[in-house]
Amino acid sequence: MSKILLEIVTPDKLFLSKEVDEVICPGADGDFGVLPGHCQFLSTLRVGELQYRIGEESHFFSVMWGFVDVTPTRVTVLAEVAEKAEDIDIERAQAKVLEAEAKVAAGGSRDAMEAALTSLEKARLRKKVAERLQKSRTR
């Protein structure tokens, strides 16, 4: 077994179906890596970066909430939101970080603060994923 099938599914579509060498997922209890032949398990996803590798080339996604089903031959990611690094506009992501930071600094009700902190977490993730792709291309 040299490859594992990675499928990323959102409510809208099958986002990706590809044979890969390794997957690193943002599990609820921390990041975890999966190689072909991994034991079977199920995990929840947090807002985080998903990375997969084919040969020496790494690819990056931002994923937000959902589940990961791992078997020895397949990793199925069921995410509420998934976005490829190359589809993220880094300047727009930076603007969203600044906007979310301003909302957090402004304070407000508990619900408003929770919403602002969630927006900030998502904006920072998108920026981080876009920057990681940019850095990997300049190596």
**Which residue shows structure tokens 């909302």?**
103
CA dist., res. 58 & res. 47, Å (int): 19
Task: Tell me what percent of the residues of the chain surpass a pLDDT of 90.
Answer: 52
Q: Provide the mean pLDDT of the chain.
A: 89
Q: What is the pLDDT of residue 97?
A: 84
Give the confidence band of 50 by pLDDT, cuts at 50, 70, 90.
very high
Q: What is the pLDDT of residue 122?
A: 85
Question: Minimal CA–CA distance to 74: which of 29, 27, 97, 41?
Answer: 41
Give the confidence band of 139 by pLDDT, cuts at 50, 70, 90.
low
Which are the contacts of 11, defined by CB distance < 8 A and separation ≥ 6?
80
Q: What is the pTM of this model?
A: 0.80
Name residue 26's amino acid. P
Give the confidence band of 9 by pLDDT, cuts at 50, 70, 90.
very high
Question: Minimal CA–CA distance to 34: which of 18, 15, 21?
Answer: 21
6: burial class by Cβ within 10 Å (0-12, 13-18, 19+)? Answer: buried
Question: Minimal CA–CA distance to 25: which of 5, 4, 45, 40?
Answer: 45
